[in-house]
Structure 1
């Protein structure tokens, strides 16, 4: 499956750009929600806190908390080496579903912008400048017969 490219990175500029959601540090929730269900292990609680202190935590809804809790418990089991193949597959699927890997965020069309300003990964002006330089190099190469 071809993944959508982030804004400003498409070669064909005449195509409609998909709607990307930019997550910033402003999206980080004010407080970490309580872990649902039974008491979690330390590793599960650390992962839970990491998720909810990131910009992704700001777009998760209350109903997502149970799936995230299951993900954290499976992550804890994996760290202890007590996970089987089926549970490992479930862990990967949950990570994909909640956008916890770069590939999953791209598939969900989420972009995390922590720094901002010129020279960042998806700055359209920077992307246009790089494209202009590539076009100039191609023109020089075509002109010399190489």
Structure 2
């Protein structure tokens, strides 16, 4: 599994984001491209400890979903989205894109950090798992928009 902490994966993700514009159409799901760029900021805010969204530890999430966050198996299309990562509001893609890229770059600067605080719902992840999880989430949504 690729990791957002590697230079290659970081560069790849940024190039794919650059291919999007405010007219990009989703191949599946209900989000428009602005909402997707806003949505993708959530997990980055969690790892960067900017927002925990009021999440609580969940034994159910740890037992049944945790490994799927960072393993090599792609997520299926149309998975349910956590309520705190959903918005019904239109989001300006260009504004959200700037914030998303800033968060990705900020996270990449921390690539050599070895100790990370636990995820508020899923608990402890290794540095490798955090990097893989962030790449997998971004990759999933960029594929959703055809890039």
Fold similarity call, TM over 0.5? no
Normalising by structure 1, we get a TM-score of 0.23
Higher relative contact order (CA 8 A, sep 6+): 2
Larger radius of gyration: 1
Normalising by structure 2, we get a TM-score of 0.23
